[in-house]
Structure 1
Amino acid sequence: MAGTAALLLVLQALVAPAAAPPGLKPPDATPPSSYAAPNMVHFELAATKYLSAVTTGSVRVRTGPGTNYASITLLVEGTRVKLLKKNSKGWWQVTIGRKTGWMKGSYLKLSTKAATNAIGYLASGKGFEDNGDKGPNKTSRVVLTYDDCPKTLSDFNAVLKYVQAKNIGLAIAPTGDCIADFEDRYGVNLATLARAKGQWVINHSAVHQDLRPLSCAAAARQLRLTGVSTNYGRPPHGAVDGSVECAYASAGMNIWTWDVSTQDWEHENKALTISRAVTKAKRGSSVLMHMWTPGFTPDAIRQIKEGLSKRGLSLCRAYRGMDNAGAITTTPRYLPDSLPC
């Protein structure tokens, strides 16, 4: 009953105008930064051509413009941040996800690229659904991505144990109601467990509702009520329009969909899921699967890995740092522009 009550409270978030319901709180209390709808100008940077910057090494975001200020978060090399303003001493005020702070300019490579790939993506003539967006996978390796929610904690832990042992890096996209349910049932956070095993975790909205019928503000609220504060997210159903783009820009997230779908949610057939993942994947693919289907098991992942290997393809590796050296370690909350697969 406790899990059911928590889920009902989550569903109320769709209509509640103000505070987040208990058990499904925003990842922080910082109000969303100003966002840009498709073709909208970034007015806060009207005086400069630079919209974003990429970190040139591991660097901290601080509460003020100086090393004497407290650290907000640590970013790995290659993480893109949104630029807000610069002070006279060379420090930039930046936004990453929904966090805003200051960084020393000497650790930043300035760019005219937007901080999120959501802005103007549709206006540029590109599309997310079906064609997909490879997100931060710029390598020749294949990333297996799993959405929604596992059936049990033992199922989830079995996969985490296997992929860590085999040096495989997955992208996990749990919904907010899933995270709340597992915290209620088991007292654990799935995102924390996955990151501790070197796995990438991205946002997948609060309750897996199609965001297109919602306003930008309402859709952005569904992205914040998840417990997964990060800079990459996957829209439910891969459905994107101008309002959804606006929501992701508001939440400070890039959109990461897929280019290969196993359609496992339709057939829930292990053999067919494996076959489609193996035969359809290509260099740099992001393969869509779901944690509640038979494709989310150690044996299924083993067969996919072996099948891809026969085609000369390799899976993304678990996180060992940006140089891929040393032992598997906890993945950063904010993903770099290019995963060290």
Structure 2
Amino acid sequence: MKIKVKKLVCPSCGADLRCECEKLSCAYCGYEEQVSLQPAMPRYVPVYQVEPKSEAKEYHCISCGASFSTDSVATLCPYCETALIGEFINALQPYSLIPFTMCAKEAKRRIKKHIRSLWFAPDDFIKDYRKHKEIQPYYYPLWLFNMDVSTEYKGRRGEYYYITKTRYINGKPAQVQERRTRWYPASGIVNQQFYNISVGGYKFASSMLRELQFDLTSCSSVDKKCLSGIETKEFDIGSKEATILAHTSLHSAIRRAIKQDIGGDTQQIISYTPHFYNEEMSYILVPIYHFSVKFKGKEYNYFVNGQSGDVVGERSYSWIKIFFFVLFVLSLMGGVLYILERLGYFS
């Protein structure tokens, strides 16, 4: 699919302008221009099935004339690195985005601090990460859901009671209390409401997006000026799949509510059936910095929340460090046991 593209031209020197933290700037002459963003909270609609278009976009670079394929809305020309802005092609387009509030320099510092803090990471991994690609800003798609859940369950409520037993400690009889549990059948229905359940809409980063939290009160309308120089993706996970993922993510919260409803001292859940209704969905863009490290033939990906600065990612382990740490712990435990034995605690 051929897409008409544009670039933002610097009025001073004619180079392209790129956006960073709500400001357009030219890397050549230093020209800067503020972007005025309008607040726009996520707009929810009843859940319906919308699937991503699979065809690639065909872009023709305005600067060098090269043609290339991409799945991005905004991207850099792979030949001359001009910042190009294309079009959204999916039937559902993002109503709002969360702008970057953290600059790339600070995001890189967060990555550095995070990698250096990793326990049991190989020394070469920590030293060599700086040799790899520069950190890159992205706008990734994020699904949001609101829904009500009514769950019918069956289980058991346990109540503790205690019996007195005689035990011999160091050869001497002693009375101890042993805990027992009386079980009673339990059943019922719990009703819950959930808001702003997030599901990553881009397969490459979907698992990482689930770990990052965003402040939705800072959402703004989608001004394409904000996309210049920032790789921007459309969703490639459709609303049907995203809804299923949202349902799955709620099961731990549903189980907690069931246990609270059962009451008692302890609980067992035998079965439960959740019913999801009043479902609404929204689709926004969120700011992420991506950084990858290739170490011993494997690529490790790191993501920085462009709003809060939180870092998530994969990691490498040094099994030698783990081995010596386990050896140290075992030696320490052995030393403690030896001292306790000498003091007569096991006589």
The TM-score, its normalising length taken from structure 2, stands at: 0.22
More helix by share: 1
Q: TM-score, normalised by structure 1?
A: 0.22
Greater strand share, structure number: 2
- Structure scoring higher RCO (CA < 8 A, sep ≥ 6) equals 2
Q: Which structure is larger by alpha-carbon Rg, 1 or 2? A: 2
